[in-house]
């Protein structure tokens, strides 16, 4: 296809300048192309989210607090300057 200048006579035969006749109609396709690409990206992200939800879904209900199992303090006195950490299961420095 031949490229037309803005001030050339339009190729449709109307006798008008290209900028006043078909220029606006032909360049409007760029905006539609961007909208199509943006729509396709949004649909793809939505599909990935839905698929991810169903893949990671568990059939059993999750109970919160299931992962914490406190470790009892060992028998006897604490070493000097130490405190027992139930969360970590070992002695920590007191200061």
Residues above pLDDT 70, as percent of the chain = 78
pLDDT (tens digit per residue) in 47-68: 999 998 888 877 666 666 566 7
First to last CA, the chain: 81
Q: Average pLDDT, whole number, for the chain?
A: 82
57, with CB counted inside 10 A (0-12, 13-18, 19+), is exposed
Under the banding of pLDDT at 50, 70 and 90, the label for residue 5 is confident
Q: Could you write out the DSSP letters of every residue in 4-58?
A: PPTTSBPTTSS-SBHHHHTHHHHHTHHHHHHHHHHHHHHHHHHHHHHHHHHHH--
Note the Cα 39 to chain centre separation in Å.
15
Q: Per mean pLDDT, which range of 15-19, 44-48, 78-82 is the poorest? A: 15-19
Domain boundaries, the chain: 1-54
């Amino acid at each position: 296809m031949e490229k037309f200048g803005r001030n050339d006579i339009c190729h449709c035969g109307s006798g008008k300048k290209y900028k006043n006749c078909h220029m606006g109609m032909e360049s409007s396709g760029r905006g539609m192309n961007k909208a199509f690409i943006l729509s396709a990206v949004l649909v793809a992200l939505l599909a990935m989210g839905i698929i991810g939800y169903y893949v990671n879904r568990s059939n059993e209900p999750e109970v919160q607090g299931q992962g914490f199992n406190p470790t009892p303090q060992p028998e006897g006195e604490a070493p000097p300057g130490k405190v027992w950490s139930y969360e970590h299961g070992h002695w920590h420095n007191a200061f």
